[in-house]
Amino acid sequence: MLREIKKDNLKSNRMKKLLMKSLITNLKYKNFNQITINDICENALISRATFYVHFIDKFDLFEFWLLELSQDIIKEAEEYEKIATAVNEYIIENQIIISNIITDAKKETLELIRKFTLFIVTSLTKETGKNTNEEDIILSNFCTGGILALLLSQVKNDYPPNSDIVTPFSYKMIKYCILWDQNYSDDL
């Protein structure tokens, strides 16, 4: 019985990864809001019914992908600077995908991107060795908003997300916020 459960979990994980890869492939050619479940299924060579066994909708799949991506980035880069470098490398390698996610993004998509960015920023702020408290959460949300605004302005002005611009500002903003927090939070 336990063996069958493990086998089912393995199959499910493989199918989720296959659907995730299909979504990423589609993002190389279309904006996220233009991609349909049919597009994802056709590329993965599976039925819609199989898709719905694993995900509620394309936003659920998108959230799964962002969670996998954030965990991969943080796992590979265990230190503060290395996380920023890993994010920078991802932006460089995937400018078209990032642009296709953000261009004409709907509220649900932006919320998932915000959660992803917040997860990364929170991971960076935890590298300072402090316990997370309300101030850290506010600080992380502040940094997240700035990073998203920077990426959105890049895309809205018909620039691809330029990692030479986005990453240094994002990194500096997070670093300044952390330094501010370390130096001034006790004074409040």
- What is the chain's mean pLDDT, rounded? 76
What secondary structure does DSSP assign to 14-44, as a single string? HHHHHHHHHHHHHHTTS-GGG--HHHHHHHH
**Crossing angle of helices 95-102 and 2-27, rounded to 10°:** 90
| pLDDT tens digit sequence for 14-60 | 999 999 999 999 999 999 999 999 999 999 999 999 999 999 999 99
| 3-state secondary structure at position 72 | helix
181 has a pLDDT exceeding 60: no
185 has a pLDDT exceeding 70: no
121 contact partners, CB below 8 Å, separation of at least 6: 140, 143, 144, 147, 174
User: pLDDT-derived band of residue 2, with 50, 70 and 90 as boundaries?
Assistant: very low
Give residue 133's Cα distance to chain centre: 23
**Residue-range domain boundaries for the chain:** 2-187
Q: What is the mean pLDDT of residues 147-167?
A: 66
| Best CATH choice for the domain 2-187 from the list 3.30.1330.60, 1.10.357.10, 3.40.50.1100, 3.40.50.720 | 1.10.357.10
Q: Is the pTM of this model over 0.85?
A: no
